[in-house]
């Protein structure tokens, strides 16, 4: 990669990480009232029917074709007009369905708006449950109040489901105890494309919501499931970051394995969390993975909490 290309990639990583920072801090799915300068929505075409939208929050997947449009996630509520404009540039068909990959506000914040446009909201049953009850985003000490009724998923599933629109099947696969307890990744076998949701942050430390049933070992296992369904030619829409390759996904998973092994090793030796963090366990990872919203100590807290809550 050229020097200019590397700078571009670093800039994209920082941008994606910063956008997630807004997501985590906002919690409930709406941007702070003082946020004025919303970004433009960038459209990345993958096939004649599949696209990725990059804006404010988690990356959106779009399927558009003769049966209309469906979306994977919908970012923050204030982004809906820009998202609709980007979708209309792709297709004039109705938005029939929105799939939420998990409950966090940067992926579900547009539910209410798009529901009013006529879209049905579809997600794992744990997504509806957490949105309905409200949560605390403990890692950032921010409350996430109960979502309005109109924002709740209309349709839920338990393990696996599928969408048969626009000439191909989209397989919806639930993985438990990963980024949260309600994660879905979406696989389009014919197009050889996957939307990972927040199982994958391309290029930087991820948020792992141990307080919503997530854990690093669950993410590692879930990514193993993703890899088992894909090949060298698969393209991956990550939850955050640029469109990715299998090599990118494998590198991310290897980083997680290293982080997990460090935490398990420390716990096996009887070290406290404070002692482990004081040893700077991710020092060797920081140069490649620490240029994002999360710093190493924040990521370490999530790693440790997930292992502690899910058990050794």
The pLDDT tens digits for 269-296 are 999 999 999 999 999 999 999 998 899 9
Of 139, 245, 231, whose CA–CA distance to 200 is shortest? 245
Whether residue 207 contacts residue 20, with contact meaning beta carbons closer than 8 Å, is answered with: yes
Question: What pLDDT score was predicted for residue 25?
Answer: 41
CA separation for the pair 140, 244 (Å, rounded):
27
pLDDT, residue 137, reads: 76
pLDDT digits (tens, 9 = 90+) for 209-236: 999 999 999 999 999 999 999 999 999 9
- Helix, strand, coil content of the chain in percent (nearest 5): 40, 25, 35
The answer to whether residue 19 scores a pLDDT higher than 90 is no
* CATH T-level fold of 12-251: Metallo-beta-lactamase; Chain A (3.60.15)
As a whole number of angstroms, the distance between CA 14 and CA 159 comes to 34
Give whole-number Cα distances, 135 to 30, 98, 292, in Å. Answer: 15, 22, 25
Confidence check: pLDDT of 21 > 50: no
Token look-up 């941008």 returns: 15
- Residue 16 sits at φ, ψ, to 5 deg, of -60, -40
Q: What value does the mean pLDDT take over residues 234-241?
A: 98
Q: pTM for the full model?
A: 0.90
Mean of per-residue pLDDT scores for the chain: 89
**What does the pLDDT look like over 179-189, one tens digit per residue?**
999 999 999 99
Query: What pLDDT does residue 312 have?
Result: 55
For residues 148 and 125, the answer to whether their CB atoms sit within 8 Å is no
The tokens for 39 are: 């970004």
What span, in angstroms and rounded, lies between the C-alpha atoms of 185 and 163?
Answer: 13
């Amino acid at each position: 990669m050229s020097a200019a290309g590397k700078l571009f990639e670093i800039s994209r990583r920082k941008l994606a990480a910063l956008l997630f920072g807004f997501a985590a801090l906002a919690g409930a799915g709406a941007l702070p009232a003082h946020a004025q300068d919303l970004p433009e929505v960038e459209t990345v075409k993958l096939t004649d029917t599949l696209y990725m939208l990059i804006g404010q929050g988690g990356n959106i997947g779009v399927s558009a074709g003769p049966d209309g449009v469906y979306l994977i996630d919908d970012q923050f509520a204030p982004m809906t007009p820009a998202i609709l404009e980007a979708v209309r540039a792709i297709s004039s068909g109705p938005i029939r369905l929105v799939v939420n990959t998990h409950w966090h506000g940067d992926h579900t914040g547009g539910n209410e708006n798009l529901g009013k446009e006529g879209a049905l909201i579809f997600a794992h049953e744990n997504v509806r449950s957490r949105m309905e009850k409200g949560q605390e985003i403990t890692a950032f000490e921010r409350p996430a109040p109960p979502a309005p009724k109109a924002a709740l998923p209309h349709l839920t599933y338990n393990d696996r489901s599928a969408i048969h629109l626009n000439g191909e099947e989209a397989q919806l696969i639930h993985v438990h105890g990963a980024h949260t307890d309600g994660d879905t990744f979406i696989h389009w076998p014919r197009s050889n494309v996957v939307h990972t949701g927040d199982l994958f942050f391309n290029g930087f430390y991820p948020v792992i919501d141990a307080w919503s049933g997530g854990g690093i070992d669950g993410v590692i296992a879930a990514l193993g499931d993703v890899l088992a369904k894909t090949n060298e030619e698969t393209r991956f829409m990550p939850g955050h970051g640029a469109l990715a390759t299998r090599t990118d996904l494998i590198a991310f998973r290897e980083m997680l394995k290293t982080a997990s092994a460090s935490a398990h090793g420390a716990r096996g030796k009887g070290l406290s969390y404070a002692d482990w963090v004081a040893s700077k366990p991710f020092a060797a990872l920081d140069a490649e993975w620490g240029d994002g919203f999360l710093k190493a100590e924040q990521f370490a807290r999530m790693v440790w909490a997930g292992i502690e809550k899910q058990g050794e």
